[in-house]
Amino acid sequence: MRERPGPAPYILLAPFLLIFAVFIVYPLIRSLGLATERSFGPGTSDFVGIKNFRLLLIDPLFWKAARNTLVFTLGSVFIQLPLALLLALALNRPTLRGRSFYRLIFFSPQLVGLVFSGMIASLMFEKRTGLINKTLHGIFGFSLDYPWLQVHIMPMLIITALWMYVGFNMVYFLAALQNVDRSLTEAAMIDGASKAQRFFHVTLPAIRPVGAFVVLLSIIGSVQLFELPFIIFSQTPYGGAGPDNGALTLVMYLYREAFETGDLGYASALGWIIAVFLFLAGLGQLVITRGEKA
Amino acid sequence: MSAARNATKSTLTHAPLLAAAAITLIPIAWMLCAAVKSGEDFKWLFLPRGDGFLGIAWDHLTFSNFTRLFGEAHMGSAILNSFFVSSVSAVVATLACAAGGFALARYRFRGRGPITVLVLGALIIPPPLLLAPTYELLYHLSLLDTFTGLLLPGIAPAFGVFLFRQATIQSVPRELLEAARIDGCGELRAFFVIVLPLLRPMIGAFMLITFLMWWNNFISPQVILQDPQKFPLAVAISQLKGVYYQDYGLQMAATVVSVAPVMILFLLLQKEFIAGLTAGAVKG
Amino acid sequence: MRHYSLGVWIVVAIAVLSSVGVAVRGGHKAEGLTMWTFARPHAAMYRPIVDAWNENHDPGVDLQLLSLAAVEHRMLAGFYAGVETADLIEVERSIAGRAFTGPLEAVGFTDLTDRMREEGLIDRINPPSFGPWTSRGHIFGIPHDVHPVLLGYRTDLIEAAGIDVTLIETWDDFKRVMRPLIVDADGDGDVDRYPLAYWPTDLDKDELLILQAGGALFDADGRATIDTATNAAILAELVSWCVGPDRIACEAPDFTQSGNDLKRQGYAACYFFPDWMCDVWNKELPELSGKLRLMPLPAWEPGGLRTSVWGGTMLAIPKTAKDFDACWEFAKHLYLSDELARTLYRVGDIITPITEHWDDPVFDEPDPYFGGQAKGRLYIQMAPHIPARSSSPYNRRAIERVSDAGMRLLEYAKSGEVYDPGALQPKALELLHDAQAEVERQMARTAVFREGDSSKTSQDNPGGDG
């Protein structure tokens, strides 16, 4: 590491620092100011201090959004990530033929993009005419009127997100698995370790850093869930956040308050709560992984 | 291991993988079918049934969705805009992030600690929180309805700086830099001549990620751009949607058109992409 | 340098080439006044009028087509930040109310009331059409339409079932007369046809039915009036349509491909038809041409209202407009002409709100899609009677909560096997009470009216009960 590098690091960092200061720090400070104001709709506001935060904590819609977001996050972390790991393990077999073919297929939903994935999902999960209910009706005799888009909204979103992102997370795990030192697994095999033992005692610890990173990214992404339900429900007759606010997530609530109700103060306060929560999650993650390493 | 056992084993791996692949592909197949169907054939789940080969009414299939798509005004310019926005962002952001990430990883200087914290901290900001203040700011800078206003806020994302910092730690040996300095190579020249080539995998991966992100980006161009001639594909296509009715055939055709370029790019950059992700994820 | 992947070089090449392409193409400089519209058919109808106007007017008008979401985004972002928007904006009802939060002087649109009164426009336009654009007695836009609602029915299905629709005057008649339609043709235990396409999740239909029945979610002063006995009775009746042995309604959503499939199959026999819906069916379901007829809505009681209202648009001039007088002249030229009235109807099946054009023979032309009915005349007969609507910024949220209450009531009816509207009413009132509390909480937080504002509310409201 260079002790006295001169201006070089500042020059190299200049584009980032400049953009960061102007387009992140400044709007962020501005939003902090907004969070302490009460908006009367377009163009007028009063200073109210921390009142927006107090109102948020007693707002049932805020808690509903928080619950929905939590359910989705748990679904992503506990259903999607294990499946991604499973797929990666299956693809990691050196003798497997067609690996890049599978990899491309599992990754392809990512290429379709959010707007169209949302549009396709809104069609697939329709009552009576949607592919999913038709298939379930045909094979298992499920009701054609199973209300995915009306009642079982979070499971619907978890399934859609699974389709979209499992391939992406799989690529992370696959990359990590390919970096696992083969001699370690082979040594364990010679020592007579069973397949399960090898997985839990050799492979899993070896990919732990990547795993932690993927979990953190997954939590950040899930807590910021917004565009997917927003697009799906803009395609349905109910619109907005779905029946009974079933698709309301924290960031969607933020968006609706800011751009539909026009209460920028309330929205900013909500944004800051989300940011603080994610900060704590990240910190917790860091403490846990560091703790285990020590 | 006997040949028979090998065969069973390979079936055991392939069967669930093939099933998963099929499930993944069904919506995409559905999209492809929808793109070549006309409105009244939408009642068929995939292709319209009839008395043609395989029981499919091949004569019902139509490319009219595609011809209509390109007949719509601005579609050609939308494709150009999407290529412009995505590729310029990808190239500039890659350079800016590589420079920043390298500086954070390989120099000791005043402010390095706080800047590293900033980079990590930026990941937790929900983007809609900044949407309204950014709009206001762009207005005061007279950058609304310009490509500059659209691209500038995104040309040095903190996430990229973080990824390149990780990649540098992993694949740029300090000794090499020292050797270069002893040979009298300037710091900036060293970055372009020595460091960048070593960061190749992350460059490929990050370019792909940035390109994809901008290619599919929808909300910020919709808010910032006003002139329809400047709209990228995602926004132009969303304009095809009527307020009171939907034209799925047209929208699906548009999706097919918009997926093709990124699919090719993914195939070209697949190897770097995976290597790059590995580098980003270690030593979190 | 050769070691970089081909993909990287391709991206760099695209960047260079597309930059050249964009630079060569040059910019399109917006000239004169800009106008935003969100509807493709509107843009097509206005284009020739705009071009003719631009020939001999300076400044000219630059008409831009945006998606409704984009109009909403930019309009509101512009108002919140005090940033310039377009000089003329066509605003759909679902987003107009959002501009009316806060004190009157903070509304981003120019108040047109005095101009309209001075120039006699108020007397030339169908009075109830002002409703959604009027806040606290002030008018903020020129109405584009009336959008009365009729009932469209599949005459092929109804004749096959031997039903005579002339026997229907009220919803009770409708339920009784239409019963024979309910069949399970393939015998799979799943009913294949219901008389009416309605479900509590259809927000627009909830609203139009409540308005038709004389219910209201807001009073003239903009206060929420969700948990009234009237609304509870209406909601209980609507839910009783969707459950139990006397069920008549099913879910066949509009504007979706799946809904269109169900319409082709005839899953429901009758549909709510605002004037613009004729154009939607014409375009999306051409194969049903000749199989539909229109009739007035069944009333909630004998002699009651036989129509309602669904949707609407206005033309507004934001306060930041460059040249108000030029905008106003163009707005009047565009919206008031008999030429546009005919185009609106011919191209979009939309009835003009300018009453002097209602005698135009175009409205007597037979429409083959509806078996030769002169549907324009039917809609015009209903136009003066459409119910008055609130312009409250909280209207949408209020309907959402009412719809949610409806779905809860439906669950309650199913689980308790209570199907009688009278028996459902106490529970309906309880659910509406929750809805009221939630809407009030939001209103209290964002404080619609400042002191002194509400005093000028009810006087001279031209959009009142016409």
Q: Where are the domains of chain B?
A: 3-62, 67-281
Cβ atoms C202, C250 nearer than 8 A: no
Q: In the complex, which subunits touch A with 3 or more CB pairs below 8 angstroms? A: B, C
CATH value at residue A121? 1.10.3720.10
Q: Which domain holds residue A219?
A: 60-293
* Euclidean distance between CA atoms C366 and A44, whole angstroms: 52
**pLDDT range class, residue B74, cuts 50, 70, 90:** low
* Euclidean distance between CA atoms C294 and C272, whole angstroms: 10
B128/A251 Cβ within 8 A? yes
Count of pairs with CB atoms under 8 A, one residue in A, one in B = 243
Chain C residues with CB under 8 Å of B212 CB are: none
Q: Is C241 helix (H, G, I), strand (E, B) or coil?
A: coil
| Overall domain count for chain A | 1
Q: Is the pLDDT of residue B42 over 70?
A: no
Give yes or no on whether C33-146+312-366 and C149-309+387-446 have one common fold: yes
Please report whether residue A193 resides in a domain. Answer: yes
Q: Is the pLDDT of residue B61 over 50?
A: yes
C267/A240 Cβ within 8 A? no
B24/A108 Cβ within 8 A? yes
Short-list B123, B122, B151, CA closest to B138? B151
Neighbours of C346 (CB within 10 A): 13
* Euclidean distance between CA atoms B221 and A223, whole angstroms: 23
Secondary structure E strands in A35-191: 37-39, 45-47
Residue length of chain C: 466
Short-list B113, C30, B67, CA closest to A9? B113
Note the pTM of the prediction, 2 decimals: 0.87
Query: What would the CATH number be for the domain defined by C149-309+387-446?
Result: 3.40.190.10
Count of pairs with CB atoms under 8 A, one residue in B, one in C = 131
Pairing of strands C138-139, C149-154: unpaired
pLDDT score recorded for residue C27? 63
- For every one of its 466 residues, what pLDDT tens digit does chain C have, with 9 covering 90 and above? 447 888 899 999 999 999 999 888 866 666 789 999 988 788 888 999 999 999 989 889 999 888 787 788 788 877 876 777 899 999 999 889 888 877 888 888 999 999 999 999 999 999 999 999 999 899 999 999 999 999 999 999 999 999 999 999 999 999 999 999 998 877 777 788 999 999 999 999 999 999 999 999 999 888 999 999 999 999 999 999 999 988 999 998 888 777 888 999 999 999 999 999 999 899 889 999 999 999 999 999 999 999 999 999 999 999 989 899 999 999 999 999 999 999 999 999 999 999 999 999 999 999 999 999 999 999 999 999 999 999 998 999 899 999 999 999 999 999 999 999 999 999 999 999 999 999 998 888 875 444 334 433 333 333 333 3
Please report whether residue A254 resides in a domain. Answer: yes
pLDDT score recorded for residue A138? 85
Neighbours of B2 (CB within 10 A): 7
Top-confidence range, B41-45, B230-234, C283-287, C349-353: C349-353
Which chain A residue's Cα is nearest to B176?
A1
> Which C residues in the span 297-336 are in contact with B, Cβ-Cβ below 8 Å?
311
C403/A263 Cβ within 8 A? no
Which chain B residue's Cα is nearest to C10?
B265
Complete DSSP assignment for C193-217: BEEEE--TT-HHHHHHHHHHTT--S
Chain A residues with CB under 8 Å of C93 CB are: none
Closest CB to A1: pick one of B45, B106, B126.
B106
A44/C102 Cβ within 8 A? yes
Residue C298 — φ and ψ, nearest 5°?
-60, 145
pLDDT score recorded for residue B4? 64
**pLDDT range class, residue A85, cuts 50, 70, 90:** very high
* E strand or H helix that includes residue C26: none
Cβ atoms A278, A100 nearer than 8 A: no
Mutate to test the interface with A, among C74, C254, C258 (most CBs of A within 10 A): C258
Short-list A12, A16, A36, A35, CA closest to A24? A16
* Bridge partners, residue C316, by sequence: C89
**Of A102-106, B102-106, C235-239, C453-457, minimum mean pLDDT range:** C453-457
* C305: alpha, beta or left? (left if phi > 0; alpha if psi -120 to 50): beta
Which chain A residue's Cα is nearest to C254?
A237
* Euclidean distance between CA atoms A151 and A153, whole angstroms: 6
Q: Is the pLDDT of residue A3 over 70?
A: no
A39/C446 Cβ within 8 A? yes
Cα separations in angstroms, A244 against B268, C403, C446: 45, 8, 21
pLDDT score recorded for residue C270? 97
Chain B residues with CB under 8 Å of A255 CB are: 128
Pairing of strands C33-37, C61-65: parallel
* E strand or H helix that includes residue C151: strand C149-154
Closest CB to C102: pick one of A40, A144, A145.
A40
* Euclidean distance between CA atoms A66 and A225, whole angstroms: 11
Assembly ipTM: 0.86
Short-list A278, A264, A254, A276, CA closest to A59? A254
- How confident is the prediction for chain B on average, in pLDDT? 83
Closest CB to B242: pick one of C18, C40, C81.
C40
* Euclidean distance between CA atoms A145 and C194, whole angstroms: 15
Mutate to test the interface with A, among B91, B120, B124, B208 (most CBs of A within 10 A): B124
Work out the minimum CA distance from A237 to partner chain C, whole angstroms: 6
Residue C303 — φ and ψ, nearest 5°?
80, 0
Cβ atoms C127, C466 nearer than 8 A: yes
Query: What would the CATH number be for the domain defined by C33-146+312-366?
Result: 3.40.190.10
B239/C66 Cβ within 8 A? yes
Mutate to test the interface with B, among C1, C8, C264 (most CBs of B within 10 A): C8
Residue length of chain A: 294
Query: Running DSSP on this structure, what letter comes out for residue A113?
Result: -
* E strand or H helix that includes residue A149: none
pLDDT score recorded for residue A76? 92
Short-list B39, B27, B62, B48, CA closest to B245? B39
Complete DSSP assignment for B170-225: HH--HHHHHHHHHTT--HHHHIIIIIHHHTHHHHHHHHHHHHHHHHH--HHHHHH-
Q: What token pair was written down for A17?
A: 């620092």
Q: pLDDT digit string (tens) for B163-204?
A: 899 889 888 888 888 888 888 888 888 899 889 999 988 999
* E strand or H helix that includes residue C312: none
Residues 6 or more apart whose Cβ sits within 8 Å of residue C14: B83, B87
Short-list C389, C393, C390, CA closest to C449? C393
Please report whether residue A44 resides in a domain. Answer: no
Neighbours of C27 (CB within 10 A): 13
pLDDT score recorded for residue C453? 41
* Euclidean distance between CA atoms C383 and C351, whole angstroms: 8
* Euclidean distance between CA atoms B226 and C343, whole angstroms: 28
pLDDT score recorded for residue C459? 37
Q: What token pair was written down for C289?
A: 């041409």
* Euclidean distance between CA atoms A131 and A142, whole angstroms: 13
Q: Is C187 helix (H, G, I), strand (E, B) or coil?
A: coil
Architecture of the CATH domain B67-281: Orthogonal Bundle (1.10)
Nearest 10 degrees: Cα torsion A169, A170, A176, A180: 150
